[in-house]
Structure 1
Amino acid sequence: MTAHPVADPVVVTGAGGFIGSHLVEALAAAGHRVRAFVHYNGAGTHGWLDTFSPEQLADVEVVAGDIRDRGMVQRLVDGASVVYHLAALGGIPYSYLAPQSYVDTNITGTLNVLESARSAGTGRVVVTSTSEVYGTATTVPMTEEHRLRGQSPYAATKIGADKLAESYHLSFGLPVVTLRPFNTYGPRQSTRAVIPTIVSQLARGTGAVELGALRTTRDLLYVTDTVAAFRAVGMAPESAVVGRVFQAATGQETAIGELVRRIAAMFGSEPQIRVSEARLRPADSEVERLVGDNRLLRTATGWQPVATLDDGLKATVEWFLDPANLARYRAERAV
C-alpha cells in the first residue's frame, strides 16, 4: 500500500511517556522533525526524553505544557501536519481515587487537541484509545465492533475521548483516526503495569511476587509493534484510515499467572506468587479477558506484529536489569 506523504513537523503529545517516547524516537530516526509535547513540571524534566542523546534530539523540538490548557495546545498544533495524541492520565487504580483528574486530562485534553486541530486545519489526528474501553470480552477475538463498557473511571474517560474523536470527524470532517492498542509492554513502561511489576520484584530477589488477579488474560503487544501501528495509521492513504477505529493486537492471550512463570524462567527462579488484596480491582471492575482481532488494521495498512512474546519479554527483562534503568524506578509500589 502506498504511504501518504507526511510533511513536517509532526506532533506527539505525551512524548515523555512510555509509548510516546518510543514513538518520538522512531519518528526522529525516520527523518521527521518532531514537536514533542511533555507535561510541564517545576523540575524541568521531560520524562524519558531526558535519557535521549543530543543526536536523538537533533530534530526534536521539546515543548513543555499541559494538555488541559487550550491555548497551549493550539500553539502546539499550529503548523503541524499530523498530530499523534498520546497524552493521557493512565493507571487504573489511581482512577478510583481521582476520577476528576482523568476527566480533565483524558476527555478535556482530547477535546483541546481536536478543537485545536480543527482550527489549524491539521491534515490528520491520530487519537490513542485502549483495549480497556471494551471491558471483559463477551466474544473473542474482540473486533472493533465489540461493545464498549466502562469498568473503571479510566476506561470511561477513554470511551469519552474516543466518542469525541468520532463526533469531530462526523460533525466537522476532521481527519481523525483512532488507534486502539491492546496491552503494550517493553522498556520504559511504568511499574504500575504488570510486566514491569513482575520484573522489578524478581530483580529484587525476594523470592516472592505479589500481584492481583492471576487468571485474567491479556493480549500483549511489544512496544515497537505498537509504534509501528501508530506510524502505519499516520502515513496510510486518507481513504484507507480516516474516520475509522483500528485495533493493534497480536490475537493471542496470556494469563497473568502464566506470564509470571515465563518471566521467572528467564531469571532461573520459581518464585512464590502471592495475591495481594491491595492489587485487586473491585470485583465488577476487573477485566477478565482481552484478546484482539487485528485484521482490520492489517488490511488497511499492511501492519502486523513482528515481536514474539518470548523475544519481547527477553528484551524487556534485559532492559530492566540494567542498573541504570532499574534505578529510575521507586522500589515501593505506586498507585
Structure 2
Amino acid sequence: MPLNTARPKNVPPHQRRALLTGATGYVGGWLLAELLRGGWSVHTLGRRACDHPGVVTHLYDGGIASVSCAVEAAAPDVVFHLASAVAIDHTADGVAEILAANITFPTLILEAMASLGCRSFVNTGTSWQHFDGTDTYSPTNLYAATKQAFEDVARYYVEAKAFNVLTLRLFDVYGPADPRRKLLPYLVGAALRNEPVVLSPGLQTLDLVHVSDVTSAFLAAAERLLTSARGMEVFPVRSGEVVSVRDLVDRIATALGMTVDAKFGGRPYRDREVMKPWDTHATLPGWSPKVDLDSGLRQLVTVARQQASDDDTV
C-alpha cells in the first residue's frame, strides 16, 4: 500500500509544511521568504538548488523518483507550484522545454502526491489564457496554452483522486529589485542611465500587481485549501487598476522626478499583443491588493536608485 503522509487540516501556521517549486525565481523567492517568516517548514524542488538558510532543497532530474523523494521528505500540507518556462514568443528549439516544464513536471508532482496521500495544490496560471480579455479561454501564446493544458490534467486528479487544486492566474507582476527582463525594470534602468527607451505605440493596457500582493494571494490560497477546499478553483490575481503603457511612462517619470525619453512607435506591437487584460469580476476570497501603483513605483525607483549607487561605488 502507498505511504500516506497526509496530515489533518487546520494545522497551526507555525507547524505547517510546504513544498515549493520556483523558489529561485522572482515571485517564488518572495513567497519563500514570507513562508519562512510565517513559521512554515519549507522544502523546495527544482533544477537548481535554493541557497537559503533553513530550507531543504531537492533537485529535480526529470524523473518521478526525484519528485517522489521530495514529496515524501517534505510531507507537505500544501504544494505551491510556481516553476514554469515562460516564453512570450517561443522558438521551435524551445518547445520541448516549455512542454516539459509546464506540463510534465507538475503532472509528476501530482502523481507523487497521489501516491503519498497529499492532496492540496496551489497552481500558477496566467491572464494570458484570456487573449481576448473575456472569461473565454483563448491562449495568447504557447506558454499560456501549456498552462491551460496542465489545468486540464489537474482536473483529472481532482475528479479521480480527490485533490483540491486552486489556480491563481497572475497578471503583470512587478516589484523592487526585479532581475527579469520586464518592462518596468527596463524603463527605470534606462531612465537612470539617461538612455532612450524604444517602445511600441503604447496604447496597450496593463494590470500591474505588486509582488507582495501576489505573495499574499498565494498565502490566502493555501489558507483556503487548508480550511475550505472545494475541488478545482481558479481565481485571478489582479489590482483592478488598468493603465496604458503611455500613462505608465508618465507615472514612472513622476516617481523618478525626471523625464523618461520614450520613443513611442519605435518598434511594432508584438504578434498577438495583449491590448486589454482579462476583464473578470472573480476574486479570491480573503484577499485584496494593498499596494497601489504609484506607491509601488516609488518603492521600485528607490531601490533601483540605491542599486545604481552601489554599482557606481564598486
TM-score norm. by structure 2 comes to: 0.86
- Is 1:231 paired with 2:219? yes
C-alpha distance in 2, partners of 1:193/1:223?
13
Map of 1:143 onto structure 2: none
Map of 2:68 onto structure 1: 74
- Is 1:286 paired with 2:273? yes
- Is 1:319 paired with 2:303? yes
Relative to structure 1, the CA distance from residue 27 to residue 241 in structure 2 (aligned partners, 3 Å threshold; closer, same or farther) is farther
SS at the partner of 2:16?
coil
**Structure 2 residue corresponding to 1:220, chosen from 182, 205, 208:** 208
Structure 1 position 96, deviation (Å):
7.1
- Is 1:92 paired with 2:88? yes
**Structure 2 residue corresponding to 1:36, chosen from 37, 41, 44:** 44
Q: Do the aligned partners of 1:219 and 1:292 also contact (CA within 8 Å) in 2?
A: no
Q: Do the aligned partners of 1:82 and 1:125 also contact (CA within 8 Å) in 2?
A: yes
- Is 1:210 paired with 2:193? no
Unaligned stretches of 5+ residues in structure 1: 51-56, 139-145, 328-335
TM-score norm. by structure 1 comes to: 0.81
- Opposite residue 116 of structure 1, the aligned amino acid is A
C-alpha distance in 2, partners of 1:326/1:106?
37
**Structure 1 residue corresponding to 2:142, chosen from 138, 142, 153:** 153
Q: Which has the larger radius of gyration?
A: 2
C-alpha distance in 1, partners of 2:100/2:119?
26
Relative to structure 1, the CA distance from residue 164 to residue 323 in structure 2 (aligned partners, 3 Å threshold; closer, same or farther) is same
C-alpha distance in 2, partners of 1:82/1:65?
18
The superposition leaves residues 287-310 of structure 1 with CA deviations (integer Å, 9 ceiling, x where unpaired) of 11115546431xx3x211111111
Relative to structure 1, the CA distance from residue 73 to residue 179 in structure 2 (aligned partners, 3 Å threshold; closer, same or farther) is same
Structure 1 position 101, deviation (Å):
1.6
**Structure 2 residue corresponding to 1:310, chosen from 271, 294, 304:** 294
SS at the partner of 2:23?
coil
Structure 1 position 21, deviation (Å):
0.3
Q: Do the aligned partners of 2:90 and 2:142 also contact (CA within 8 Å) in 1?
A: no
C-alpha distance in 2, partners of 1:238/1:95?
42
Relative to structure 1, the CA distance from residue 240 to residue 63 in structure 2 (aligned partners, 3 Å threshold; closer, same or farther) is closer
- Is 1:114 paired with 2:110? yes
The superposition leaves residues 237-283 of structure 1 with CA deviations (integer Å, 9 ceiling, x where unpaired) of 54355421111112221111111111122222223322443x7421x
Map of 1:332 onto structure 2: none
Q: Do the aligned partners of 2:26 and 2:178 also contact (CA within 8 Å) in 1?
A: yes
**Structure 2 residue corresponding to 1:164, chosen from 143, 148, 153:** 153
User: Aligned ranges for residues 114-263 of structure 1 at < 5 Å?
Assistant: 114-138=110-134, 146-206=135-195, 208-212=196-200, 214-236=202-224, 237-263=226-252
SS at the partner of 1:137?
coil
Map of 2:6 onto structure 1: none
| Deviates most, 221-230 or 91-100 | 91-100
Q: Do the aligned partners of 1:249 and 1:293 also contact (CA within 8 Å) in 2?
A: no
Q: Do the aligned partners of 2:191 and 2:259 also contact (CA within 8 Å) in 1?
A: no
Structure 1 position 4, deviation (Å):
3.8
C-alpha distance in 2, partners of 1:227/1:111?
23
Identity of aligned residues (%): 29
Q: Do the aligned partners of 1:131 and 1:182 also contact (CA within 8 Å) in 2?
A: yes
| Deviates most, 154-163 or 313-322 | 313-322
Structure 1 position 324, deviation (Å):
7.0
Structure 1 position 321, deviation (Å):
2.5
CA RMSD in angstroms, aligned pairs only: 2.4
Structure 1 position 156, deviation (Å):
1.1
C-alpha distance in 2, partners of 1:219/1:181?
10
Relative to structure 1, the CA distance from residue 62 to residue 320 in structure 2 (aligned partners, 3 Å threshold; closer, same or farther) is farther
The count of aligned residue pairs is 297
